[in-house]
Amino acid sequence: MSALHTVNNAHRRALGPIATPDRLLLGPGPSNAHPTVLQALSRNPIGHLDPLYVELMGEVQELLRYAWQTDNRLTIPMSGTGSAAMEAALANTLEPGDKVLIAVKGYFGLRLADMAGRYRADVVTIERPWGEAFTLEEIEAALREHRPAILGMVHAETSTGILQPMEGVGELCRQYGCLLLLDTVTSLGAVPVHLDDWQVDLAYSCSQKGLSCPPGLGPFTMGPRAEAKMEARRGKVPNWYLDVTLLNQYWGTDRVYHHTAPVNMNFGMREALRLLAEEGLEHAWARHRRNAESLWAGLEALGLELHAPEHLRLPTLTTVRIPEGVDGKAFTLHLLNKHGIEVGGGLGALAGKVWRIGLMGYNSRAENVELLLELFRTELPAFRPGAQTGRPAAVAV
């Protein structure tokens, strides 16, 4: 018997069933899944062409249309995370040389620009500081100057906590003859989204934030104008796996095999969307707003400064400026290791400057706000300059 074989056998004998710690995920995502969703995920799988699964596929599509407030025929969950749905939006509509305008106000606007460039688009960007949003005047000026085929924007910028106002943007895109692509990763199911009223042509999201489901699916929707551009392509979509012309045959009326769909993830997605419909969109939106406002008021009462101006704050993701002299990463590790609570750090231009606190989907509850505020009140002082080491003191920040 070889030494390698002996080592592998010993390793296998030492392994037991997987064990994960209980975490309260209050970072930028993923968030904790709803317990009922987890139960749905644990059901025995069935075939991806089973008549019962085909019926469930239709239910998922209709529930996604409700969540997005759209009648788009092509509305499906991509088999992949939100980044796969982001890529699908670009892969299916872009051809080499197409001019694409990306409105960048944070990390995920930069990702959109990077992806578009990989499909050999002519990418131009307009930018705002990481903590601001675009005005209609700025958007119109850029559309007039560049005349793009697609305008890409992030509705809820996870890196900055900024919510981009969307009223009037779709009308401008119609006026200047371009498609409007919208990232709703951190807004779907938690923040008002009205795709049809806003005249959005393409949108994508994820499963693990406002929808209270684990990561693994990327909701995607395409309106008639985007469909027309896709159908007028001169060549094939350059990404086989995300090719909507092929996926449409599986998710459409024919149900032609394309790939082995993640059946159990769609069990979970169906349950998550059912729970959202049961609560009602407007009630879910109000719950997220109410809990976010409670968090904002509590943090400011502790003397902490919020990064985003109040009129642009994102209810699902709050950016808090790390106080001068505080090791922000050390404090988040303390919350994780001692209390099992995850809070995120900053990305890109905000790395080391902010904490990112998520209240999304199932995690947007008053008791989570109260718990986190109490930990900031009692334990952050120990991480301030000049604080004595040891157990955090129960004193106000």
pLDDT digits (tens, 9 = 90+) for 127-173: 999 999 999 999 999 999 999 999 999 999 999 999 999 999 999 99
pLDDT at 9: 64
Q: Find the helix or strand (DSSP H, E) in which 37 lies.
A: helix 35-41
pLDDT at 313: 98
DSSP state of 150: E
Q: Where are the domains of the chain?
A: 25-29+281-383, 35-278
pLDDT at 6: 57
Nearest 5°: the CA angle 32, 38, 43 is: 165
Q: Contact at 8 Å (CB) between 295 and 373?
A: yes
pLDDT at 356: 98
> Selecting from 3.60.20.10, 3.20.20.450, 1.20.1440.120, 3.90.1150.10, what CATH number does the domain 25-29+281-383 have?
3.90.1150.10
Cis peptide before 30 (omega within 30 of 0): yes
Q: Contact at 8 Å (CB) between 261 and 246?
A: no
pLDDT at 1: 45
pLDDT at 10: 58
Look at the alpha carbons of 201, 204, 209, 210 in this order and tell me if their dihedral is positive or negative. positive
b/e string for 375-396 if b means 16 or more Cβ within 10 A?
bbbbbbbbbeeeeeeeebeeee
Which residue type, as a one-letter code, is found at position 84?
A
> Selecting from 3.40.640.10, 3.30.565.10, 3.40.50.2300, 3.30.70.20, what CATH number does the domain 35-278 have?
3.40.640.10
pLDDT at 253: 81
Backbone conformation region of residue 235, classed left if phi is above 0, alpha if psi is from -120 to 50, else beta: beta
- Under-70 pLDDT residues of the chain: 1-14, 388-397
